[in-house]
A and B are shown apart, each in its own frame.
Chain A
Amino acid sequence: MFKHFEPNKIFAVTSRAPKYILFLFIVVLTIGLTEALILSPEDYKQSEAVRIMYVHVPAAWISLGTFSSLALLSVGSFVFKNKNFALIAKSLAPAGFIFNIIALVTGSIWGKPTWGTWWAWDARITSMLILALFYGMYLVAWRIYEDKEQVIKITSMIAILGVINVPIIKYSVDWWNTLHQPPSISILSNSSIHVSMLIPLGIMTAAFALFSLLIFLMKYNTELIKIKNKGLDRL
């Protein structure tokens, strides 16, 4: 099955897709920003500060989802001995890291008007910071190790160890007393967030996911061309 997804076969798609995804991203982001900044209502408690949610929450979701994917791909590269998994994981990491930083910074900005502080060593913020450290270690490892086999092993270990932190982030608001409120959105039960806020949140999440896909494809193409450059040297 993996043969259909070999870099040589999918490059024709991955090299052409970014321009269409960039266009779609700009369209969805424009709609999302209009909804988030102008059309959506203010919150009865937080007033206009609630609008920060439309960048903070999608960024946190995407960074968590991306790290979970890194771990899954790392397990895949161990089990199936498929180097393409490691290449995909490597290409996903930069966008995930940036989204993690966005979640931390916008969370800090949101904290000031709502909690009266820029930073608190609360369970969710601290566990998100730990996730950023794992992303950092993952990216640095790819830069400092030369040997391909070794770097795949080390980065996979970092991703698999780091993914333990993902459920801790998710359930930190239930397990500990934190400044963060319990989850407002649930897939299995009714969400406590009003639909007028859920729609812009959904659109902004879609825009962020498209941006993540765009960066992933550009990074993946860069990595493939790097490999091909080495191939030309060997000719």
Chain B
Amino acid sequence: MTNEIILMNGYGIYVWSAFSFTLISFVTLYFVTKLQLSKEQKRFVAKFGSLNLEKARAARSQNINREILLNTSKI
């Protein structure tokens, strides 16, 4: 049974390489995208931390900024 799945009547090399290429592409794209996202989140937190109290309060008044900070604290 296992041999049948691996060898696939001699087509195993083609089938497994097609599926492997697809899955490797998925994993690579996912981690590259995740890395870009967390880089921007970290940059946001660093910039936010450097604001003075008044500017930080103004920035915090926007929902989206609060959401970014909320999500970043979870990563």
Contact = CB atoms under 8 A, between A and B. Distances in A.
Is this pair of chains taken from one and the same complex?
yes
Given A11-B63, A106-B22, A49 B40 contact: no
A185 to B, nearest CB: 19
B53 interface: no
A40 to B, nearest CB: 12
Interface residues of B, number: 38
Contacts of B64: 7-8, 11, 224, 228
A113 interface: yes
Contacts of A47: 8-9, 11
Contacts of A161: none
B14 A109 contact: yes
Contacts, number: 113
Interface string A138-149: 000000000000
- The SS class assigned to the B binding surface is helix
Interface in B16-75: 17-19, 21-22, 25-26, 29-30, 33-34, 36-37, 40-41, 43-44, 47-48, 51, 55, 58-59, 62-65, 67-68, 71
Contact of A38 (B5, B17, B22, B36): B5
Contacts of A59: 22
Interface in A31-55: 33, 37-38, 42, 47-49, 51-52, 55
Contacts of A15: 67-68, 71
A215 interface: yes
A209 B45 CA distance: 32
A102 B44 contact: no
A173 interface: no
Nearest to A95: B29
A42 B9 contact: yes
Interface of A: 7-9, 11-12, 15-16, 33, 37-38, 42, 47-49, 51-52, 55-56, 59, 94-95, 98, 101-102, 105-106, 109-110, 112-113, 211, 214-215, 218-219, 221-222, 224-226, 228-229, 231-233, 235
